[in-house]
Amino acid sequence: MSGIRRSHFVCVSCRASWKKQTGRVDRGDVCPRCAGPLVDAGIQLAVPRKRDTAGWRALEAVLAAGLRFNPSCICCMDGPGYRPRTPREVRERLAHAAATGVPVAEALACQDPTHSDLRPGPGARRAGAGRLRTS
């Protein structure tokens, strides 16, 4: 892997993406089509197809929340973590953030917004707890 990192710069209104070298300040990073601002979405963005309206709406919400698609560790390139891909996933996480007071960016980056896999509800038993195996 070379030392030059190329990041995805996105214009949500045009549904277009360009790769540019990160860390370079160009002429304001404006869209060549509409002259609107480009957003540095990160090096590991999977850009939705131009006709994928739902994918672009979800991407717009993620970018508006301040999340980017950069790996947590540059040396490992382990991925940016979970990001919602559909408007339904965005709505579920925004509802969870509003109900619990969790920051929007944190709720959008969480794969399971209810955290049901981590915190069992009152009176709930863990799977397999208290059972005897006879075989």
For residue 121, give the amino acid letter: G
Domain residue spans in the chain? Answer: 6-108
Q: Partners of 19 in the beta sheet? A: 8
Task: Identify which has the larger pLDDT, 119 or 55.
Answer: 55
Tens of pLDDT along 5-37? 788 899 999 999 988 876 665 556 888 899 998
Amino acid at 30: V
Q: Percent of the chain at pLDDT above 70?
A: 69
Residue 53: predicted pLDDT: 93
pLDDT at 78: 62
| pLDDT of amino acid 75 | 58
Dist CA 33 CA 12 (whole Å): 12
pLDDT in tens, 97-109: 898 888 888 888 8
Q: Do 65 and 108 meet the contact criterion of CB atoms below 8 Å apart? A: yes
Query: What band does 115 get if pLDDT is binned at 50, 70 and 90?
Result: low
What gap in Å lies between CA 97 and CA 83, rounded to an integer?
15
Cβ(83)–Cβ(107) below 8 Å: no
